[in-house]
Chains A and B, each alone.
Chain A
Amino acid sequence: MDDFEQELREATLRLPAPPSLKRKILARRKQQNTQRVHALLSFWQPWPAERICGTTLKSAARAKKPGSRY
């Protein structure tokens, strides 16, 4: 490595990251995790309600049928 390359090495030393970088990364990570949990909950939440409604309607329909035990 000659003098020029040594200068180039000095010119390209790693620079310090902005002091706020880590805080911003951790904040966005937390936000993403929260969003992921919400998305997961909103996917699963309608299921029990739909099942309850479905079961109720099915029971009601069966009850109206002539000859039904209900």
Chain B
Amino acid sequence: MARDWQPDFEQLVDEHQSMVFSLALRMTGDRGLAEEIAQDTFLALDQSLHKIESPLHALAWLRRVTMSRAADALRRRKVRAMDLWVEIDENHGALAEEHSSPLATRLEQLLATLPESQRAALVLRYQEDLSPEEIADTLEAPLATVKSHLQRGLKLLRAKATCQLREYIRGV
């Protein structure tokens, strides 16, 4: 069957580089590593371009491969949640400055302290606005597991945010 859509590699890079880079950065907390993951992901896309059938397929493919490569990179580096938070605090002050609200800045830092699976589910839910079903497809995980990660992650994040806010008020 003939394919109507002809992928344009450069256009795909233009359209999706921000998405791929943001996912990789939020998962690894390391700007250099995130850039490396983004480059590798797009080069892998170039190799698989003949299999991509539509713009939506390209988007879903990029999300899946970015998350998988970020998870591999984390496993290789054995970065634990707390280390990641420290790294983000130390190296990515610029990241925090991009938010208008101080609460949003703090939330992003707290998000980095969550366990990897919960962080992955929440980043896909709130950055990419995906449904639990789409997240399950992206992470190749059972739907029930994803729902549980979303619920627990959100609960933990709320608890941490409340605790941080109290400390902040006490400090002021």
Q: Which residues of A come within 8 Å of B, CB atoms?
A: 4-5, 7-18, 21-22, 24-26, 28-29, 32
Contact = CB atoms under 8 A, between A and B. Distances in A.
B39 A12 contact: no
A28 B38 CA distance: 12
Contacts of A18: 21, 31, 35
B57 interface: no
A8 B17 contact: no
Interface in B86-141: 95, 98-101, 103-105, 107-108, 111, 122-123, 126-127, 129
Contacts of A22: 10, 13-14, 17
16 contacts: A4-B158, A5-B126, A7-B103, A7-B104, A8-B157, A9-B129, A10-B99, A10-B100, A11-B111, A12-B108, A13-B127, A17-B20, A17-B21, A17-B38, A21-B35, A21-B38
- Could you tell me the dominant secondary structure of chain B's interface residues? helix
Nearest to B161: A4
B28 interface: no
B149 interface: no
B42 interface: yes
Which 7 pairs from chain A and chain B are nearest by CB?
A: A11-B104, A11-B107, A17-B17, A12-B127, A17-B21, A12-B126, A11-B108
B126 A25 contact: no
A32 B47 CA distance: 10
